[in-house]
């Protein structure tokens, strides 16, 4: 029977992509096919791919499927370990090729035509598995040694770190490291802003990055000059970008499962969540053909009174101007400066929360193992959860106070305000504002009637002059209608 064969070539490591190893294998396999009189149908190549992982290399899988479709009835490889390095994978392969009548040969002279040949192949497969295990052991030992010595483990450099590479033993390796000129300052700034209570979403948007990319960078121990191996941290050959304590606090903040939900549901508008009606109901976004664009409304369909509405954009401009003015007052700057001094107020609270969470887990385990009566379990659990709740609230309040220490002066804020997005603006506003309350349209003391939404146009008045009067009119209305509860 005329054999049509597939050739499979693979090499585990070819970082430079030169393909020298797979080309040598293909040449030898083609020579064997010519000697056997087998017609080569196709060559399948997995370059720079390991055969010791649980999932098979992609082109190996494609070759098997092609054989199952009847495109060939033989397979040639250079050595058994090019196909599989684990006996538990090689044995099913041998059973599969026997059921389908597919011949198998190697350039080392192995074949499946005789019982001795199949016996030798199984032995070689076992030897390949043993060699793979020895290589794995040596690799793990080398990785551990590099970790203990503080050497770079290889691969891509972490975000924020740059370096020089040189050829060592015919391989390019990093030999010196330094902080990346643009990424390292971003890491420092992002850590500072996360500790101040800002969202990763907003920070990433400022940097033009994906949220998940920035979060991965901030939780990487490499930015604190550490690498993790077997659950332990070891020093790196580069200097830390941030302090270890700051990095640990960032990891703790970003590991909060509730935080991810909050950040993926970012509020869309600058004052969302801050604006409330005098009736006590929170006002939400709406629109009206009678107003200048979007509005904040106390919707009756959402449980509100249904009688309060205010135009969004002018209110946002008014609040921003009030914030600029308040943040430039000497009293507020002195209060913020006073909060900047001293140690981290959340350190002891974070430790207490962590200790109580572990204690709660131990309590649950004891109860599950029937080591505690239910009454005692409930008493201890109530005590722990009450303390956890109190410490968590205290920590959140301390974080908010710390967030206020990062608010710039009103003059600086005004200079960058229009260049920032609503997420960043909300972070600034929530650091200094607790609540914005909207009252009904006030009465004009000059007329004894409600203020009109806009002053009437005077005869011969220019657009510019009327717009100036309109802005003053609206500011007067807002000063009586809008009440801000400050946190500073």
Q: Where are the domains of the chain?
A: 4-144, 179-262, 267-311+409-488, 329-408
pTM here is 0.48
The CA-based diameter of the chain, rounded to the nearest angstrom, is 112
CB atoms within 10 A of CB 351: 11
Pick 4-144's CATH classification: 3.30.300.30, 3.90.78.10, 3.90.660.10, 3.40.50.1390.
3.40.50.1390
- Residue 73 is predicted with a pLDDT of 92
**Residue 264 reports pLDDT greater than 50:** no
Q: Which tens digit of pLDDT belongs to each residue from 407-418?
A: 788 999 999 898
List, for residues 74-119, the tens digit of each pLDDT value. 999 988 888 877 766 777 888 888 888 888 888 887 665 656 666 6
What's the pLDDT at 272? 87
Rounded to an integer, the average pLDDT of 162-190 is 84
pLDDT range class, residue 355, cuts 50, 70, 90:
confident
483 Cβ contact partners less than 8 Å away, ≥ 6 residues apart: 436, 437, 439
Task: Answer whether residue 42 shows pLDDT above 90.
Answer: yes
Q: Are the beta carbons of 450 and 290 closer than 8 angstroms?
A: no
Which two structure tokens, joined as six digits, stand for 468?
A: 């100036």
DSSP string for 354-384: HHHHHHHHHHHHHHHTT-S-HHHHHHHHHHH
Structure confidence at residue 52 (pLDDT):
65
State the pLDDT at residue 152.
72
What's the pLDDT tens digit per position in 57-70?
889 999 999 999 99
Cβ-contact 288, 277 below 8 angstroms: no
More confident residue, 112 or 227: 227
SS3 for 193? helix
Q: Who has greater pLDDT, 259 or 42?
A: 42
Greatest mean pLDDT among 41-55, 102-116, 192-206, 311-325: 311-325
DSSP H or E run through 178: strand 171-179
CB 346 within 8 A of CB 391: no
Fold of 179-262: Hect, E3 ligase catalytic domain fold (3.90.1750)
Average model confidence (pLDDT) across the chain? 82
């Amino acid at each position: 029977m005329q054999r049509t064969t597939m050739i499979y070539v693979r090499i585990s490591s070819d970082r430079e992509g030169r393909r020298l190893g797979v080309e040598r294998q293909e040449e030898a396999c083609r020579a064997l096919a010519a000697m056997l009189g087998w017609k080569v149908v196709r060559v399948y190549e997995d370059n720079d791919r390991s055969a010791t992982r649980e999932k098979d290399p992609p082109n190996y899988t494609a070759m098997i499927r092609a054989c199952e479709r009847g495109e060939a009835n033989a397979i040639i490889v250079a050595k058994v370990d090019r196909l599989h390095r684990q006996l538990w994978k090689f044995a099913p392969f041998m059973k599969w090729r026997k059921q389908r009548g597919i011949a198998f040969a190697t350039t080392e002279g192995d074949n499946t035509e005789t019982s001795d040949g199949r016996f030798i192949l199984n032995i070689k497969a076992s030897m390949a598995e043993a060699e793979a295990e020895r290589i794995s052991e040596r690799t793990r030992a080398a990785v551990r040694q590099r970790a203990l010595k503080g050497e770079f483990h290889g691969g891509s450099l972490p975000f924020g770190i740059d370096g020089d590479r040189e050829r060592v033993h015919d391989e390019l390796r990093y030999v010196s490291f330094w902080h990346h000129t643009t990424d390292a300052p971003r890491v420092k700034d992002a850590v500072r802003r996360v500790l101040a209570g800002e969202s990763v979403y907003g920070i990433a948007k400022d940097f033009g990055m994906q949220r998940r990319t920035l979060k991965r960078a901030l939780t990487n121990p490499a930015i604190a000059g550490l690498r993790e191996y077997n659950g332990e941290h070891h020093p790196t050959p580069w200097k830390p970008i941030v302090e270890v304590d700051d990095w640990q606090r960032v990891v703790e903040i970003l590991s909060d499962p509730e935080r991810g939900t909050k950040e993926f549901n970012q509020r869309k508008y600058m004052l969302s969540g801050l604006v409330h009606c005098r009736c006590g109901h929170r006002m939400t976004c709406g629109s009206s053909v009678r107003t200048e664009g979007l509005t904040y409304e106390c919707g009756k369909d959402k449980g509100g009174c249904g009688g309060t509405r205010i135009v969004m954009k002018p209110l946002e401009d008014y609040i921003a101007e009030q914030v600029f003015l308040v943040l430039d007052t000497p009293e507020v700057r002195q209060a913020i400066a006073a909060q900047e001094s001293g140690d981290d107020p959340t350190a002891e609270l974070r430790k207490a929360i962590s200790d109580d969470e572990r204690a709660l887990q131990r309590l649950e385990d004891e109860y599950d193992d029937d080591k505690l009566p239910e009454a005692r379990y409930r008493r201890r659990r109530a005590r722990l959860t009450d303390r956890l709740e109190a410490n968590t609230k205290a920590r959140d309040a301390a974080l908010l106070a710390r967030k206020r220490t990062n608010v710039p002066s009103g003059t600086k804020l005004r200079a960058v305000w229009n260049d920032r997005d609503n997420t960043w603006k909300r972070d600034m506003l929530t650091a200094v504002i607790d609540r914005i309350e909207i009252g009904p349209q006030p009465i004009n003391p000059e007329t004894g009637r409600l203020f009109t939404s806009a002053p009437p146009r005077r005869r011969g008045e220019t657009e510019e002059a009327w717009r100036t009067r309109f802005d003053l009119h609206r500011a007067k209305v807002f000063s009586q209608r809008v009440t801000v509860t400050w946190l500073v």
